[in-house]
Structure 1
Amino acid sequence: VAKSYNYYPSADCKPEEGIVYLALGLGKYIVDGAVGYAFCPEKPKTPLFGTPKDYMNNAQTKFYALNLKTIFNFANFNEENTLEKLDIGIAKKHGVLDKIASTYVPQDDQIYPGVYEEGYLVLDFGPIIKYDELPIAKAIKLLLQISQISLGYPVEIEFAINIPKEENKQAELFILQVRSMVPFEKKIDVDINKVSREKMLIYSENALGNGIHKNIKDVVYVDRNSFDLSNSTQVADQIKKINTKLMDQNRSYILIGPGRWGSTDPWLGIPVIWSDIAGVKVIVETPYKDKYIDPSQGSHFFHDMIASQVLYLITKKEGDIKWDWFKKQKIIEETEFIKHIETQKPLKTIVDGKIGRGIILK
């Protein structure tokens, strides 16, 4: 997946320089928000992680493949019945990693392109991205530029790359889908710098979207005192039920909770799918027990959020949320891990997409 605008820029990369996510196997891996390899198409050799060891710890370890034994057995027409999630070692045995993997050597604390017996396998696409064995970065950069000019808005491209093992055959780049992202310039201009911190219930220096949501009185939040990531699947079910009730009453709400929203890994956040929280207008991502989990950009969840004009705020510090204020509000429904509250007056959420900051005001 490639995006011409990066809502979570890092290193020396700028938001308008875009972001690309690569993964071995079928695209479901990236679509579901799992960890893949990310790079900036404008600066493909710029590392987005701090150290070689960070690359190893964040590298892809599983991949999706088509199970040919079940290809004619579509139970309930569910395509996932034909997929297998396999260990990256299987791909190594098939000899498909030579051009896309590197090896981390702990003695040197370095990553070397290619697959070697000594060291640890790192799927970083180094040979084709960092060492230009294939002009993938240049091709995707050009596609993003052409698509954005054609549509007039920032774009997202889903693509596939076929790299043959035979040296005499050319690699192939397939464009699967091109779609526009919600244009910032069509939104409301806001100036968060003029708002006093005393008036803020929530403050975020890493926010997605641009504009204002107001007249929201319902807040659903995960109780950080009782919640543990081992309960994240149970929490997702509870949120789904509350979401259904609120949608039946045509009431939008603010959702607050730890880790990655929409993650397929329950140990990284709450594994909701978009239909589970379709009535939400504002999502707030909080740290988990003082541990900051990098936000996810799973393509379909991310795109649904943008298409629904949901504002997304990420908090990093304890003082970014005034929890004591939320605890004093009227409780509509309460479970072991979830609280649904209603505020006396509507809350106002403002996100300035140009500087990536967001606030919620009482």
Structure 2
Amino acid sequence: MKKTAIAVAISGLFMVAGAQAAPQDNTWYAGGKLGWSNFQVSKDDVSSTLNTYDVTRHDDVGGGVYGGYQFNNWFGIEAGYDYLGKMDFDSSAGAGDLQSQGLQLAAKLSYNLGAADIYGKVGGFGYHTKSLGESDDGVAPLLAFGTEYAINRDWAARFEYQWVSKIGDKEDLGFEPDNGLLSVGVNYRFGQQAPAVAPAPAPEPAPAPAPVTVTKEFSLSSDVLFDFNKATLKPAGVEALDGLYGQIKAETPKDGSALVIGYTDRIGSDQYNQALSEKRAKTVADYLVGKGIPADKISTQGRGEADPVTGTQCDGVKGKKKLISCLAPDRRVTIQVTGVKEVTE
């Protein structure tokens, strides 16, 4: 068989889609197949009186019937009759053909992929071959691979490539070809039972909603809390933090924690602004600890002039005082409170 035909056979195995292919255990089945039979002849397969160029037709229609017993979903035994067709040739002995048929017996090994079974067969082929009035009987090795899927509970289809090596006796018949049979088939599975349907279980009560993690963020202007360029709380800042503490306490998340983050504007060096933002965050955190937040539940970060909220809107502002006023939204302290809250229906 040509390489392209073998490629078609292999690709066909993976183009099958269908129901669960594996039959039930201890199942008898029987079926038939039809396809393309191809005789391959090499120099070693031909007697000295003939020539490989004498072959005028390699291909014919082949087919057969088969039956088997599936012991379980991976192992079975299969037997059958195959008609492999004719190979025509023209030689000094006269025009003729080599006709082959026979009985096969093979072990069948399957692997289930859910949508299909891929299987292989290995066994023997007891052939009867005729050519130019001569006949020959013998046994040749047989290999096959294929795929099978269920059309419904009782019927299954298969796609198979079968190889039989050295059919006939080249001294008696002139030829000793190999044969490849690419076929499609359908088989009936006896005694398949409908799967038992288990009673539907009683519905379970709906589970309680799972708790969810929540994060609440509070933000205060640094100009309310501190004087410009300072990290000491102003009286107005103390009042603002007292009100903020009341809001945090009202949240009361389970296993809650707080993160205090300080920000500055872009005026000044990066290093100076980073240090100032860290001091302001620590000042706010220390005050909240003094109000009642556990010290091990609060942490601080300074982010300096990162993440400005003004963007580029102050880029054209002239004069330091005007620039300080324009950049006021960037100078801020945020407090992120994270914890677990129970969900009520």
Q: Flag the structure with higher strand content.
A: 2
Question: Higher Cα Rg: structure 1 or 2?
Answer: 2
The normalised TM-score by structure 1 is: 0.16
Q: Flag the structure with higher helix content.
A: 1
The normalised TM-score by structure 2 is: 0.17
